[in-house]
Amino acid sequence: MGDGSRIEVRPDLNGPAGSGQGGYACGLLAGHLGNPAEVTLRSPVPLGRPLPIERREDGSVVVSDRGTLVAEGRRVKPLDLDVPVPPTVEQAREASQRFESPLEIFAGCFVCGEGREDGQRVFAAQVAGRQLVASPWTPSDEWLALEGVVRPEFVWAVLDCPTYFASALARPGLIAMLGRLAVELISPVRFGEPHVVMAWPLGSEGRKHDAGCVLASARGEVLALARSIHIEVSEVPGPAAPSASR
């Protein structure tokens, strides 16, 4: 049943292949669910077009675009992850200097795109001596925040890309797209303050690659926790994207 609610991804908030950045799109939908939430992407998220939200009797929600299922979301229990000790901001900064994106198609992503001077430049690369990736992040663009706190959908956005690079630690050259993202928002993310985004691999099963991620304060306090599934593909999908089955 629809109540007139919609989500819309601005054209500049894109990920790869001219579609909406996955974490951001998931975060928009999560805003209609509550916290914690899990969103499964079923096809690329269109840019610059309002997408209607339909609510199901079980409390979950779905988003479609002209008859094509785009995403499904639901409330979940708090995430149960064994979180590694986050690196310091300086350690994350040192790691990010080794960042190399494996595909040109990611260069325009507003979170991790090296070609986006107006992006968030979350360049998560391996921390020396550890099986995890990290990047510093200081949210400084005014449109990210409201009353000094980063909007939840942008927290979701920065928790997406690092999990892909974490999965690629064990699979160099991995090409994969976000299939599912679950996020638990724990504490407000303060605008203008330095943070660390850290992600680590949790294993693989067939084409599915599982990873955890946290956004931490400069003091190491975990502010947000995420778990993702990325679906391995032979090439970046166009009209249809891989989905993560329940």
Residue 10: CB atoms within 10 Å:
12
From residue 131, give the alpha-carbon distance in Å to each of 5, 136, 172.
41, 17, 13
For residues 102 and 21, the model is more confident at 21
3-state class (DSSP) for residue 132 = coil
Q: Which amino acid appears at position 201 of this protein?
A: P
The stretch 102-124 carries a mean pLDDT of: 89
Q: Are 29 and 40 in contact (CB under 8 A)?
A: no
Q: Spell out the long-range contacts of 235-238 with Cβ–Cβ below 8 A and sequence spacing 24 or more.
A: 235/175, 236/16, 236/17, 236/103, 236/105, 236/175, 236/177, 237/17, 237/44, 237/177, 238/17, 238/44
Pairing of strands 176-185, 208-217: unpaired
Chain position carrying tokens 């198609």: 105
Residue 242: what pLDDT? Answer: 38
195-217 tens-digit pLDDT: 999 999 999 999 999 999 999 99
Summary mean pLDDT of the chain: 92
Amino acid identity of 244? A
pLDDT band, very low/low/confident/very high, at 244 (cuts 50, 70, 90): very low
How much is the pLDDT for 172?
A: 83
* Residues 169/223, Cβ–Cβ less than 8 Å: no
Q: Domains in the chain, please, with CATH?
A: 2-75 (3.10.129.10), 89-232 (3.10.129.10)
What pLDDT sits at residue 18?
83
Residues 6+ apart with CB under 8 A from 57: none
pLDDT beyond 60 at 239: no
With bands split at pLDDT 50, 70 and 90, how would you rate the model's confidence at 154? Answer: very high
Residues 6+ apart with CB under 8 A from 54: 1, 2, 61, 62, 63, 64
Tally of CB atoms within 10 A around 194: 15
Confidence (pLDDT) at 100: 85
**In this structure, how many other beta carbons lie within 10 angstroms of the beta carbon of residue 205?**
8
